[in-house]
Structure 1
């Protein structure tokens, strides 16, 4: 049971890790030019004809950036324009390439029926770097959160730390869906990054500490497979909900159900033993054995009492390199990541 519910947590982590693909979708776009809509209606142009007549192209400025981020510096409201070739300025310009261009001063038009943070906050052209910043903040949060929350899980317990990350992740995810500006969107996404990766790693630790050494590889792989299943589910949900705010709500609200872990998920017995709380660990081990219809090994009955074990150890980062064996494992994991 504990293994199954933690796999759900792994699947729910997907929208934060790769959600930028849908939340930050960049559709085809071009500058909005005042007067073009009226001219299109007067001339009864199709969309293809409108783009062909009004978008910059040619030998000089025919690249994609120019057609998306520049527009002709032309007054489309003038009565001199004709419907067959509105840019026929033979008396003024030799050809299209000689017509001056200007920036998209009146916004953009997007060829997309839904919405994304790109279309809502116009994160294109000169502001395209803001989309990269959005995802970079998540990755910075992953890095900082993995270190700090990993320490907290060692210091205060896996279950307590996991529940705290779930609460913060859920609340910040909902606030992001209602963020009034790009800045607040980045702030709430950064908070999600700070807690979500650390929470996912805490779930991974719990799964591996619930089972024996011979099963750790199997449960670790299945935990990763659950993440892959989350990718498939996210794709289906994003296809059904093309608006980023509703999509953000749809993938965030289920996280509140993980607060039920408080009642259905036990603390890690291995962590309790490491903290000299053997009485609590033994109770959990007996409950797990009873649920799995297994007989408790005699070695488990001989756990020393808390008084005999001495003071509780305080985890330190130095422990990662204290002995040759753990130092080797730490360096291998750092290289792998």
Structure 2
């Protein structure tokens, strides 16, 4: 029992890269427009970074106009010969002063003030395309919503263990594919698939861990299961600090998930689900094994289960079960509101 509890807590901790991974995968460093010729001029003049920014990057506002200096650059040709190193903008004739020089969007890309890489720096998800970073996380959340409903039904219909193994496999494969995604679109697709199975898998683990214990212990194991998620946040932060490149980070936090496929051999099916499915023989074998591992006897209420009596009506899960009785309706509405 302790072994099952521990391995399921590992599953909870491994969920954090998907839930909050955008903080590290989508890190947005300071940036400015790439202006062709500025690097060569800066090298020739021996400017420091502060001097280069002062001479070549527009100020934050002019004539009451609000714009971002990260998304606009001077519409001038920095490859022009004879530019002054003390005030190169004075060499461009036709403009009365610096504030009258026209601006243009970042047509040639951006320069990022960070050696680390993220999906933002690789796919230039800034300025007009900054909404794509929000879309990246929204795809995960849509996957969470769909997966939490559909995978919960699958776990009730086909069993917790089978559902857990399938979600682990799909999550691991899609996570690796995301690390090698050739484009932003493919990255979105793989991230959506991860969201589709990961939240449902996490909930399945939560169900398993609470169904392994008696009613008096459910609250405790449920809290510890979520504490493991918090520990995963701390571990993820440390890993992200040591691996500042998003593709390697994605691989590092995904590959260990394949080890969770060993649950096939070390994790039993939920005895409560087996009993609900009238599979008393299999349920009694697991209950006896758990009792033996805990050094305790099987309670009389469970000993009365007859392994041969499996002809009763199996429980068929339905979404109507969420509102079938007044008490369940109340709990369903409360949980929907809090989420």
Q: TM-score, normalised by structure 1?
A: 0.97
- The Cα shift of 1:307 comes to 3.8
The equivalent residue for 1:69 is 71
Query: How far, CA to CA, are the matches of 1:229 and 1:36 in structure 2?
Result: 46
Name the Cα RMSD after superposition. Answer: 1.5
The equivalent residue for 2:211 is 209
- The Cα shift of 1:324 comes to 1.7
Give the total of aligned pairs: 337
4+ runs deviating over 3 angstroms: 61-65, 304-309
Query: How far, CA to CA, are the matches of 1:313 and 1:306 in structure 2?
Result: 18
The equivalent residue for 2:258 is 256
**Structure 1 residues 153 and 80, CA, compared in 2 at 3 Å: closer, same or farther?**
same
Query: How far, CA to CA, are the matches of 1:155 and 1:326 in structure 2?
Result: 20
The equivalent residue for 1:19 is 21
- The Cα shift of 1:89 comes to 4.9
The equivalent residue for 1:154 is 156
Conserved in 1, the CA contact under 8 Å of 2:83 and 2:91? no
- Write out per-residue CA displacement over residues 17-51 of structure 1, whole angstroms, 9 at most, x where no aligned residue: 00000000000000000110110111000111101
Query: How far, CA to CA, are the matches of 1:174 and 1:90 in structure 2?
Result: 51
**Structure 1 residues 80 and 314, CA, compared in 2 at 3 Å: closer, same or farther?**
same
The equivalent residue for 1:5 is 7
Query: How far, CA to CA, are the matches of 1:246 and 1:201 in structure 2?
Result: 27
**Structure 1 residues 305 and 65, CA, compared in 2 at 3 Å: closer, same or farther?**
farther
Q: Unaligned stretches of 5+ in structure 2?
A: none
Query: How far, CA to CA, are the matches of 1:283 and 1:217 in structure 2?
Result: 26
- The Cα shift of 1:156 comes to 0.2
The equivalent residue for 2:272 is 270
- The Cα shift of 1:61 comes to 7.3
**Structure 1 residues 332 and 55, CA, compared in 2 at 3 Å: closer, same or farther?**
same
**Structure 1 residues 107 and 141, CA, compared in 2 at 3 Å: closer, same or farther?**
same
The equivalent residue for 2:39 is 37
| 3-state DSSP of counterpart to 1:87 | helix
Q: 1:136 aligns with which of 135, 138, 163?
A: 138
Q: Unaligned stretches of 5+ in structure 1?
A: none
Query: How far, CA to CA, are the matches of 2:31 and 2:181 in structure 1?
Result: 24
